[in-house]
Amino acid sequence: MEFFNLHTHLFTNQACVKELVNQYPQEFDGTIPFYSIGIHPWFIVKERLESDLAIIESKLQEPNCLAVGECGLDKRIEIPMELQKIVFESQLLLAQKHQKPVVIHCVAAFQELLAIVKQLKITVPIVIHGFSKKQALVNELLASGCYISFGKYLLQNPELESVFKSMPMDRFFLETDTAQQGIEVVYALAARYKGIPMAALQQQINTNFEAVFKINK
């Protein structure tokens, strides 16, 4: 594995890239080699919640399902926060039951999110995807045991350089999410920011991948 893409919505089927493809319960594609599956807060359908969670639990028992998600909390949408919390908590408990990491979408609700993780005593790895915030939040997330994934915002926002440089080498991932650029572009910038060769960055993220996802290369 030369590259690992922590979160993408587009399966590119490249031999040199292992992609964790985001899937939704009602739009599942069984041909994708490795995936996460979850209920995104944007797409919560209250009447379908029971069946969606049943599908997620079924897929979590398959070896190619590497994580729950993306799931989380978002204060900038109209779906009530109480319903979002119920859906999020249900998925965290499934992740804990089946010992799978969780890929997190969080907008303006990090304090609530961390409180829920602590309250439920979640011990599986928590990965915050698409990070774009300040150093103070990074420090808080790291202190809570989270991993952080960087992608399109790292490419778009030069102010993230100092935040990324501060990241411990064993606590971050890289991703493309919905960006048009390939994961190689994200790796190239990340290697430049860290001041290390591309090969060293690849090896480090491979090590992080093995630590979090517990499968062989």
Q: Helix 110-119 to helix 81-98 angle, to the nearest 10 degrees?
A: 40
Cβ-in-10-Å burial (0-12, 13-18, 19+) of 148 comes to: buried
Please give the Cα distance from 175 to 149 (Å, whole number): 7
Which amino acid, 34?
F
List the one residue out of 172, 124, 141 whose CA is nearest residue 6: 172
Binding positions are 70, 105, 129, 177
Dihedrals phi, psi of 180, to nearest 5 degrees: -75, -30
Annotated binding site for a divalent metal cation: 70, 105, 129, 177
CA distance 142 to 144: 5
What SS3 class is residue 6?
A: strand
**Biggest alpha carbon distance in the chain?**
50
